[in-house]
């Protein structure tokens, strides 16, 4: 475990968190921001405290979550190409979200939770559960079945989404299209707070198994021989990863590449010990998505790009570079 | 002591069955599990390690039912080295050996000075002190096997279950490996080793268990198990049964003609 690496990544994370809220099409002065606490409101202070800060916090959380889940899933399935969405999570989540968006009678709000979020979570969990049960063998998880099952579930969910698209109102289609592009543009803290009941247990289930994942990387039998309760670890990573991904995807949509690229980059920088890789993946993933969002809202200001486009533009070439340099292991 | 009684195991959609009345591993002895391919050697070892639950029968560890014990408790007493050894990530030898302390630590697995001393002992015992900073990808097949064995040894087990640990090694490495097992047995560790090499099993093991098609064909000292009748039953007239010049233990050589057995 490399404490120095975690401290360095934390410093980068905090620096990004501190700097990016000040960047945007609207110039904001520090004086206006501090005066907010003295009761003097201005449009700039409201933009800062109710738009930029929640947005930056959501980007930090969402990017961190996707990278953390990606890092855990890549070890659990012993496959470097797995990301949170490979296993049909985004397909299941999108189908659930679209179901809630397109059928008006399903639209409800319970406190900070909306039916879009809850059905997205349910869809993601159902996908993960189905894929897990299909790929489970007595000796462990069959990687080929897992990937095929993931692709199959994604196709089935895609079919369901097409069916809903066919019967949905134009209004619902616009909302769904925007959701699919991915974005962290929220106003206020209510939606952010609504994430926490799902994210925090998810983080807990993932991070308590950081050491166990090192052993799982040696193979299931070797891990069992070392004394790791492999089935419990697999179940918790599944539930934790599913909860956390579903929570994030339900709010920000399917943002690609962060969950795939960041864990690989972190391993190249800090080694393979998951006790270092997991926290560093969270910190770098959060920081990178926040920087990407900062670019997305400033590069064509005052027009904003969906952040998913930026992550794809940066992540695609980086992925090819990693692939060509053959440094997966 | 690890004890198995009346073990029956079958795999789904297969008529093959493992049926063993009694098998035990006691401290201080090296026991060889031998037999042709598909005879059930690895399955028996996995059942012994609690990796696989048998359909019927009892597996007990120091009198306690194995399946009721938690994995870390089992790992403190049983060290298991599977046949397939690979790592998704390129850990260093030292990192791998440190992982063996898992059942003795909690949470993040931070090692104390006692743990670190045991890791160093395991590295020294397997002759890997000079290679401890090397990555697994930089090791030869034999060095990699020793690194994984060192990881299992740092669990400080009382029973060691090894599935073909010397299969990829050249002759002198195999000799070194089996001598290591004898050294471990001297230190009151009970060793059960699955091996295809009957000569090594005969020379280095105190007892042998000979399996064929899931059944125990013979069990006991090598002289008793590797009798002319048993050898002829398994290998026909294709092998020559002789005696090791140093120990007098039975050894097998390929027969030139099918007349000698």
Residues B27-44 have pLDDT tens digits of 999 999 998 888 999 999
Q: Which residue of A has its CA nearest to B103?
A: A227
**What pLDDT was estimated at residue A81?**
80
From chain A, pick out residues whose CB is under 8 angstroms from the CB of B73. Answer: 227
In which residue ranges of chain B is pLDDT below 50? 260-261
Smallest CA–CA distance, residue A219 to chain B, in Å, is 7
Q: Is A226–B81 a contact, with Cβ atoms under 8 angstroms apart?
A: no
Q: How many CB pairs under 8 A join A and B?
A: 87
* B130 interfaces chain A, CB cutoff of 8 Å: no
Which residue in the set B81, B82, B102 is minimally distant from A228, CB to CB? Answer: B102
User: What DSSP designation does B14 have?
Assistant: -
* Phi and psi based region of residue B124 (left: phi greater than 0; alpha: psi -120 to 50; beta: remaining): alpha
Residues A2-36 have pLDDT tens digits of 899 999 999 999 999 999 999 988 888 888 888 88
Is residue A104 within 8 Å of A114, Cβ to Cβ? no
Residues A235-265 have pLDDT tens digits of 888 888 888 888 888 888 888 889 999 999 9
From chain B, pick out residues whose CB is under 8 angstroms from the CB of A226. Answer: 75, 99-100, 102-103, 151, 155
Other C-beta atoms lying within 10 Å of the C-beta of residue A55? 24
Closest CA to A266 of A295, A287, A248: A287
**What's the rounded mean pLDDT across residues A263-277?**
93
- Ordered by start, the domain boundaries in chain B are 2-226, 236-261
pLDDT of A287 strictly over 60: yes
Q: Is B107–A215 a contact, with Cβ atoms under 8 angstroms apart?
A: no
**What pLDDT was estimated at residue B259?**
57
In whole angstroms, what is the distance from residue A30 CA to residue A22 CA? 9
Q: Is A329–B90 a contact, with Cβ atoms under 8 angstroms apart?
A: yes
Smallest CA–CA distance, residue A224 to chain B, in Å, is 7
* B66 interfaces chain A, CB cutoff of 8 Å: no
Domain B2-226: top CATH class: alpha beta
Task: Note whether residue A329 is domain-resident.
Answer: no
Q: Show the DSSP H helices in chain B as ranges.
A: 41-48, 71-77, 93-99, 113-125, 141-153, 171-186, 198-204, 222-225, 228-235
Residues A161-193 have pLDDT tens digits of 888 888 888 888 888 887 777 778 877 788 888
Task: Note whether residue A274 is domain-resident.
Answer: yes
Task: Note whether residue A125 is domain-resident.
Answer: yes
From chain B, pick out residues whose CB is under 8 angstroms from the CB of A228. Answer: 71, 102
**What pLDDT was estimated at residue A314?**
85
pLDDT confidence of A326, banded at 50, 70, 90?
low
**What pLDDT was estimated at residue B261?**
45
Residues 6+ away with beta carbon under 8 Å from B162: B45, B81, B149, B181, B191, B192, B193, B194
pLDDT of A226 strictly over 90: yes
* B51 interfaces chain A, CB cutoff of 8 Å: yes
Q: Is A267–B137 a contact, with Cβ atoms under 8 angstroms apart?
A: no
* B72 interfaces chain A, CB cutoff of 8 Å: yes
Q: Which residue of B has its CA nearest to A137?
A: B12
A-side interface with B, Cβ within 8 Å? Answer: 1, 75, 78, 138, 208, 210-211, 214-215, 217-219, 221-222, 224-230, 267, 272-273, 275, 329
User: What DSSP designation does B135 have?
Assistant: B
Is residue A222 within 8 Å of B99, Cβ to Cβ? no
Tokens of residue A294, six digits: 């900062």
**What pLDDT was estimated at residue A329?**
44
**What pLDDT was estimated at residue A141?**
64
Q: What's the domain range around A231?
A: 3-324
Other C-beta atoms lying within 10 Å of the C-beta of residue A58? 25
* Phi and psi based region of residue B103 (left: phi greater than 0; alpha: psi -120 to 50; beta: remaining): alpha
**What CATH number corresponds to the domain at position A17?**
1.10.3470.10
Smallest CA–CA distance, residue A228 to chain B, in Å, is 6
Q: Domain count of chain A?
A: 1
Residues A202-215 have pLDDT tens digits of 999 999 999 999 99
| Residue of higher predicted confidence among A93 and A280 | A280
Q: Is A221–B51 a contact, with Cβ atoms under 8 angstroms apart?
A: yes
ipTM of the complex: 0.91
The answer to which of A45-49, A57-61, A143-147, B222-226 has the lowest mean pLDDT is A143-147
Q: Is B70–A138 a contact, with Cβ atoms under 8 angstroms apart?
A: no
């Amino acid at each position: 475990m490399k404490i120095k690496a975690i401290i360095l990544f934390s410093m980068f994370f905090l620096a990004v968190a501190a700097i990016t809220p000040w960047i945007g099409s609207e110039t904001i002065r520090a004086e206006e921001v501090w005066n907010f606490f003295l009761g003097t409101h201005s449009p700039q202070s409201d933009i800062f405290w109710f738009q930029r800060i929640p947005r930056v916090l959501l980007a930090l959380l969402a990017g961190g979550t996707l990278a953390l889940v990606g890092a855990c899933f890549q070890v659990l399935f012993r496959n470097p190409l797995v990301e949170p969405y490979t296993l049909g999570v985004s397909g299941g989540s999108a189908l659930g979200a679209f179901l809630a968006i397109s059928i008006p009678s399903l639209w409800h709000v319970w406190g900070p939770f909306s039916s879009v979020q809850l059905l997205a979570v349910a869809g993601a969990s159902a996908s993960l559960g189905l894929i897990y049960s299909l790929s489970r063998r007595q000796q462990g998880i069959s990687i080929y079945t897992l990937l095929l099952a993931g692709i199959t579930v994604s196709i089935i969910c895609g079919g369901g989404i097409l069916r809903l698209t066919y019967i949905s109102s134009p209004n619902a289609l616009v909302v769904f299209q925007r959701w699919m592009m991915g974005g962290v543009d929220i106003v206020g803290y209510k939606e952010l707070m609504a994430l926490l009941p799902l994210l925090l247990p998810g983080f807990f289930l993932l991070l308590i198994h950081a050491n166990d994942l090192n052993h799982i990387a040696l193979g299931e039998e070797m891990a069992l021989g070392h004394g790791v309760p492999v089935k419990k670890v697999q179940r918790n990573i599944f539930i934790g990863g599913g909860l956390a991904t579903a929570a994030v995807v339900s709010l920000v949509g399917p943002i690609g590449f962060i969950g795939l690229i960041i864990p690989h980059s972190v391993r190249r920088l800090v080694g393979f010990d998951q006790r270092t890789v997991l926290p560093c993946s969270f910190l770098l993933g959060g920081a990178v998505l926040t920087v990407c969002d900062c670019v997305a809202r400033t590069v064509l200001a005052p027009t904003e790009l969906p952040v998913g486009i930026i992550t794809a533009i940066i992540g695609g070439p980086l992925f090819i570079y990693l692939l060509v340099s053959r440094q997966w292991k | 002591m690890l004890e198995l009684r009346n073990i029956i195991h079958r795999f789904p959609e297969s008529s093959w069955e493992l049926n063993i009345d009694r098998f035990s591993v006691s401290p201080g002895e090296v026991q060889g599990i031998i037999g042709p391919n598909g005879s059930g050697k690895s399955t028996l070892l996995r059942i012994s390690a609690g990796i696989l639950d048998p359909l019927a029968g009892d597996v007990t560890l120091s009198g306690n039912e194995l399946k009721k014990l938690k994995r870390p408790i089992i790992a403190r007493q049983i060290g298991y080295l599977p046949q397939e050894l690979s790592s998704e990530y390129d850990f260093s030898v030292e990192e791998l050996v440190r992982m063996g302390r898992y059942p003795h630590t909690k949470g993040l697995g931070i090692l104390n000075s006692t743990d670190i001393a045991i890791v160093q002992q395991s590295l020294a015992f397997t002759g890997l002190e000079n290679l401890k900073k090397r990555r697994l990808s930089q090791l030869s097949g034999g060095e990699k096997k020793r690194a994984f064995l060192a990881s299992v040894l740092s669990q400080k087990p009382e029973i060691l279950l090894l599935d073909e640990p010397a299969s990829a090694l050249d002759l002198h490495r195999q000799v070194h490996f089996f001598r290591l097992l004898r050294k471990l047995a001297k230190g009151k560790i009970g060793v059960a080793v699955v091996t295809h090499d009957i000569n090594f099993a005969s020379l280095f093991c105190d007892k042998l268990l000979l399996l064929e098609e899931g059944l125990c064909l013979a069990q006991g000292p090598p002289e008793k198990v590797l009798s002319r009748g048993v050898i002829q039953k398994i290998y026909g007239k294709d092998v020559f049964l002789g005696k090791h010049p140093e120990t007098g233990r039975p050894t097998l050589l390929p027969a030139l003609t099918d007349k000698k057995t």
